[in-house]
Chain A
Amino acid sequence: MTARARRFGGGPVDLLPLSWRASLVLFLALALPAASTAGATRLGEALVKAEALGLARHATWEALLHVVPGVFGLRRHSEIPQSAFFLASDGAAHPERELEVTLRALFEVTPAGDQAAHCRFPARAAWLGQQLGLPAEVSAQASCPALTEWQEGLAPRGITLIAPEAFMNNPASMFGHTLLRLDVADPSAPQNLLAYAIDFMAMSEEETGVMFSLKGTFGFYDGFFGLNPFYEKLERYADWENRDIWEYPLDLRNEQVEFILLHLWELSEIGIPYYFFRQNCSYQLIRLLAVAIPGLDFSHGIARVIAPVDTVRDVLDRVGLLGEVRYRPSPATELRTALRALPPDHRQLALDLYSAAIEPDDPRIEALDSEERGAVLEAAYRSLRYRYAKGDSTEEEARERAHTLLAARSRAARGATPPAPRPAVRPDQGHGTALLALAGGVEDGAGFVEFRLRPGFHGRLDPSGGFPADSTVGVFDTRVRWFPSENKLRLEEVVLLELHSNTPRDSFFKPATWGFETGLRTRLFPEDDGDLDRGHVWRTKGSAGFSFEPVGGRLLVQGLVDLGLEVGSGFDHGWAFGPGVVLGMEFASADDRWKTMLQTRATRFVAGDTKTHLQADLGLRRTLTRTTAALVELEGHYYDSESWLEARLSLQWTF
């Protein structure tokens, strides 16, 4: 592999630049020294035909070269800057040059297989051969042992799109993820655990979490395609990160699967610039699939972050499903199900078993019938595993306990695992991740019209179906307001990032509730004459606390403390810093067609401009159609001995 890459990377085939006019091409092709006159003639014919057919601007050729329109669609160029990905020295900017040089290389007589152009770029060779009707002794003149061995090793029967849900506790995964599995059997068969998964990952040797996201945002990394056994992927996404996973078996023809693999081979060891919000794993998987799926593209234009769930939708727009979408609950989801399925006294026994307060030979355990005992031991073992993955016990302790519990479990009845209920809404069936809203409202007596664009992802009042429960992620949330009375247009907010994770605690699960936000906001500042002046502030704030579901799953109550810094010319000294307390609640109807939230916040600035700010928010969302909703929002403020109200009525559209 390295040898091949080096050969083409180090010394791209460099021929005389040719005009792309057919006659001249033909003339020069004939004039160039070639192995045989007959071969040169055939090459000349192929070049003429390629031009006549316009192959260099064909969608498949551009997809194979990863060509995209440049700024304003003016300059078309490849997104892959590596010379190893091209035979022509200027192939990245000139698809027609790459095509020409590729054709020339195909007609060259090459002694060794793996080194030849058709072995290094088998998808390009196969496509050109098919389009131009090239004889096999040209497009596949010699065998490619390494490629053949690789293909036979993988031998996929189909492709399944795998979508682990978003994972809030890792900023790098907060939008979710997608990968492809090369199925070795029927999509639902267990032996697909042994299948290979194609993953596009950024190369970051030591970076973690926030730094990864920041650097990834600005393209500091290169990404690479990799192949790993699917069970290794599950170990990470399911077993350690507890992410539910959805598996979409794609209805692709064998030729499509084969062609995708040939193109994947071309991408071997090719670094592709990685951008966290757009050119991410999901984007590159679409680019890979697009070579075999005509018309597959990002359907929603430029005003959005590319979230994995959007790529699932884009793929499903173009490709049918081969059977049912599989839901693979995470160990945490299965544990929750197992604990809930137990009557309260049995649940307590399970927790006591897990914590070693009692042993499996306890009379209360032995009194249970075989199936009950199995269910209790099952829940106890799952609790242990969950807590171990959270780092709550040492490996040695956990290992001993696991063995004790499993040995007892093996003596109880077979089976007895209740399946975790499948969520009613799949991720691809949830609301669109970009949002547009138009609102009318009053702020301290002044009427306004507001326009809002949120390119991603999921807000607090949005319908929760298809999204990870109790978490919200907003990026580049932008509001512009027009005040007719003052005839003034004002940038109201640009919130770069806003995150909240509000997972409720119960007797076993003890997650923290937390939040983070940073962005431009508008604040009203009381003036000496009693008027309120609008001023921009940059606010960065972190919060932590607890959430509970006191009466079942529909009411969420939470309390948090936060710490924030606000910088803006409206403050005395230009800034304010201090802690706050937040109390909130949310309530959604059973069908999730309406949802309401109430929140109060008290902030005491202790440094900079030392004042107190009290705020109360009330929001109500009513779903109208699958993509539209109406919202009523009220805000009350008290700050620097002045108080004021704001009310908004908005219509929002998700896409």
Chain B
Amino acid sequence: MRRLALLVLIAVPLSSGVALADNDVGCGVGTTLMAGRSGLVSHVLASWTNGSTGNSVSLTFNSFGCDSTGEVTADAQLRKFAAANIDQLAHDVARGEGEALAAFAHLLGVQGSQAEVFGAFTQAHFETLFPSADVDSNQMIDAFYGLLQG
């Protein structure tokens, strides 16, 4: 496990504010530093319309989190994605695989070939990442950074 932690460490700039080198998801990908979210999101989202509720009908996206050169900070991307996908991430971490976990790994700069190792690593540390039912996505990410450093 220690070797894996090193592998991830190399790929990920841990301090927030450092730009992700391989920025192929673009600056537009949600970068708002939003509040963390814990599992099982509210029923309110299950709206009964085909209208705009809960959706943006604007073509602009919030580019907050992009630094002056237009690059997204890895940490901001990671936090927004985790907040929106916390349920899927918890499920994927528990079984050690899945699309949301793979996208999370991608944001961290983990190579596709390392996805299995990454999956096994996170699964083994489920209870560190999600110590209680009320863990929100930001706490989970902080715990993840802690794992890598510890």
Contacts and interface: CB of A to CB of B under 8 A. Distances in A.
Interface string A160-201: 000000000010110001000000110001110111100101
B133 A149 contact: no
Given A203-B57, A226-B52, A414 B123 contact: yes
Nearest to A390: B46
B40 A395 contact: yes
A208 B91 CA distance: 31
**Chain A interface category by residue count:** 35 or more
Given A403-B132, A406-B91, A410-B93, A191 B25 contact: yes
Given A208-B49, A417-B95, A150 B60 contact: yes
Nearest to A227: B59
B48 A209 contact: yes
Contact of A402 (B46, B57, B133): B133
Interface string B47-59: 1111111111111
Interface stretch (B2-10, B96-104, B137-145): B96-104
Contacts of A352: none
Nearest to B85: A231
A373 B28 CA distance: 41
Nearest to A412: B95
Contact of A190 (B43, B52, B99): B99
A154 interface: yes
B45 A184 contact: no
Contacts of B46: 236, 240-241, 389, 391
Contacts of A154: 26, 28
Contacts of B106: 189-191, 194
Interface string A360-381: 0000000000000010001001
Nearest to B132: A403
A231 B84 contact: yes
A154 B42 CA distance: 29
Interface in B1-57: 24-30, 38-43, 45-57
A646 interface: no
A389 B44 CA distance: 10
Interface stretch (A17-25, A262-270, A483-491, A609-617): A262-270
Contacts of B58: 1, 224, 226-227, 268-269
Interface residues of B, number: 62
Contacts of A267: 59
Interface string B71-101: 0000001000100110100110111110110
A643 interface: no
Contacts of B146: none
Contacts of A618: none
Nearest to A391: B43
Given A149-B70, A229-B29, A201 B51 contact: yes
Q: Is the interface of B mostly helix, strand, loop or mixed?
A: loop
Contacts of B77: 194
Contact of B50 (A155, A170, A226): A170
A415 interface: yes
Contacts of A402: 39-40, 90, 133
Nearest to B30: A229
A399 interface: yes
B102 A155 contact: no
A355 to B, nearest CB: 17
Contacts of A202: 50-52
Nearest to A153: B28
A231 B99 CA distance: 11
Contacts of B30: 194, 229
A82 B46 CA distance: 32
Contacts of A516: none
Given A190-B102, A226-B57, A231-B81, A201 B50 contact: yes
Interface in A415-473: 415-417
Interface string B116-150: 00011001101100101110000000000000000
B133 A229 contact: no
Contacts of B96: 410, 414-415
A193 B89 CA distance: 13
Given A203-B51, A227-B61, A399-B39, A414 B97 contact: yes
Contact of B59 (A229, A241, A264): A264
A464 B47 CA distance: 28
A90 to B, nearest CB: 26
A152 interface: yes
Nearest to B63: A153
A172 B51 CA distance: 9
Contacts of A170: 48-50
Given A152-B26, A154-B28, A403 B130 contact: yes
A275 to B, nearest CB: 13
Nearest to A212: B49
Interface in A568-583: none
10 contacts: A184-B25, A199-B55, A208-B49, A226-B58, A227-B28, A374-B95, A381-B91, A407-B94, A410-B123, A415-B95
Interchain residue pairs A-B with the least CB separation, the first 3: A153-B28, A410-B126, A204-B51
Given A225-B59, A399-B39, 8 more contacts: A1-B58, A150-B59, A152-B26, A207-B51, A221-B51, A236-B47, A269-B58, A391-B46
Interface of A: 1, 149-150, 152-155, 170, 172-173, 177, 184-185, 189-191, 193-196, 199, 201-205, 207-209, 212, 216, 221, 224-229, 231-232, 235-236, 239-241, 264-265, 267-269, 281, 374, 378, 381, 385, 388-389, 391, 395, 398-400, 402-403, 406-407, 409-410, 414-417
Interface of B: 24-30, 38-43, 45-61, 63, 66, 70, 77, 81, 84-85, 87, 90-91, 93-97, 99-100, 102-103, 106-107, 112, 119-120, 123-124, 126-127, 130, 132-134
